[in-house]
Amino acid sequence: MEQFFANYQLIFFLPLVALSILFESYYYKKQYKKSYPWRESATSLGVGFGHQLTGIINRLLIQGLMASFVWQYRIYTMPNSWWVYLALFIGLEFCYYWYHRASHEVFLMWATHSTHHSPNEMTLSAAYRLGWMPFLSFSWVFFLPLVLIGFSPVTVFTMLSINLMYQFWLHTKLIGQLGFLEGILNTPSSHRVHHASNPMYLDKNYGGILILFDRLFGTYAKEESEVEIIYGLTHPNHSRNPFEVVFRVWRELIHKVIDTPGVKNKLKLIFSPPS
């Protein structure tokens, strides 16, 4: 399954990504009467390339060691049945919601996730501007309970990949609100809110494919047509250097840990909300 999915990404999904960005660049210029942000897109491409390289190590450590270790102590082994995939879909959405929320509320996790929020414009290229060190940020911990319950590691991480691929099309300003789907599915409108740095929109809409857990746990916000969205970090990062984009918040975290006296206070800082 994993090899088939990898081939699918290479043959179908990546060319679709490239074609979609070309279409977006054409309609972006037509809609907004200004040039497409190619330089920022190039930065995102550099960050995305680094994410793929470091992803080899992350997958080896997370899937190869951690998930396989937990799999030995699973409570149950899920059968090959349709309801298992439905249960995994819902379970993964639940885990993804809490992983994504924690990535905004825990400084250590934000150090990695902030990379994805650094684009100062919302385009499809922002989708692959992803951090390089999820292993060090413990993002994988949120999905291990699914393996412990009895879903195979390969199935879990394949479903997670599908979830992330779905989110590619959410990173655009060119698709408006989608009627009754708003508040049920994660849509471009909902995800624009998530990427906004406007105070009223901060830390909202954490869902992957569904937005239902945001509604359940009180973190859903609808995009208001009269409010102009400001994209990027609350302290914007305008660097074109992929390394600066990826490591700026990591550097801030390390400096603050060094300057904070006492082991207890250092740990409290690491797991506290980012300022």
Q: What is the pLDDT of residues 172-226, one digit of tens each?
A: 999 999 999 998 999 999 999 999 999 999 999 999 999 999 999 999 999 998 9
pLDDT of residue 4: 46
Taking the C-alpha atoms of residue 5 and residue 21, their distance in angstroms, rounded to an integer, is 22
Band (10; pLDDT cuts 50, 70, 90): low
Distances (CA, A) of 167 to 21, 207, 259: 14, 10, 38
Taking the C-alpha atoms of residue 193 and residue 158, their distance in angstroms, rounded to an integer, is 27
For the chain, what is the radius of gyration of the CA atoms? 19
Taking the C-alpha atoms of residue 93 and residue 166, their distance in angstroms, rounded to an integer, is 12
pLDDT of residue 19: 93
pTM for this structure? 0.93
Which long-range contacts does 23-26 make (Cβ < 8 Å, 24+ apart)? 24/123, 24/124, 24/172, 24/174
Q: Are 73 and 155 in contact (CB under 8 A)?
A: no
pLDDT of residue 8: 54
